[in-house]
Structure 1
């Protein structure tokens, strides 16, 4: 019986980010995937969306896209860490979006209040850890 590939694989569906900013959008080792923080920037305009709901949706779309490139899905997320510039004020809207994107079998989740993110207009950043195939069944 052969052992599974345990080498680190870099996941970069947007290679220009890797080249320009020197980070991987995710790293996969075996079935484990670590997704770098995703933010609510519109890919067409490269500008932050207006409001928490729109930014959260775009950030989850980013997580979903990176996970799909890594061979997984949002159902495979086992841990979320979210960073909020208005933790108390935006939590209701954020949670509604999170629950629409991950409607059951909720992952572990840590929400952190921060004073700033990469751009002044950003309200939330989402990073995730997933185990490919764990969301099945």
Structure 2
């Protein structure tokens, strides 16, 4: 089996500048790098947790599609949060449940003191198995 680097055109700048792939696929397994709440087309960070969570999940969806998978193929997510106790986590769970409404994947949430940019509130990484979802 060969390793395939997944880098949608929207994320090419990150690959060139930071030397990382948005995802790596080996066989049906896909490891997705952390996705943040930024609109890649405009480089605009979402205002508030709900907006950032939606953008991060949309970025995750884009990467999975480029890898030949869907959100239903996610078997695990790991999320990094600046606020694990306040309203941010509640807003995140609400958005998460819109993108992953059933057959919930494993989930580990980690509280951190900072992310790559000070305005980021959330980062989501995922593991998927192409073709295993209900879709």
TM-score by length of 2: 0.95
Match of 1:117 among 100, 109, 115: 115
- The alignment's C-alpha RMSD in Å is 1.0
Q: Give 5+ residue unaligned stretches, structure 1.
A: 1-5
Q: In the alignment, what sits opposite 1:35?
A: 32
The DSSP-based 3-state class of the residue aligned with 1:87 is coil
The DSSP-based 3-state class of the residue aligned with 2:85 is helix
Residue 47 of structure 1 and its aligned partner are, at CA, apart by: 2.4
Name whichever of 78-87 and 11-20 sits farther off: 11-20
Matching of residues 1-137 of structure 1 within 5 Å: 6-13=1-8, 14-89=11-86, 90-136=88-134
How many residues are matched? 132
CA distance in 1, matches of 2:13, 2:45: 18
Q: Give 5+ residue unaligned stretches, structure 2.
A: none
CA distance in 2, matches of 1:105, 1:75: 8
Residue 15 of structure 1 and its aligned partner are, at CA, apart by: 2.0
> Where in structure 1 do 4 or more consecutive aligned residues deviate above 3 Å?
none
Residue 34 of structure 1 and its aligned partner are, at CA, apart by: 0.2
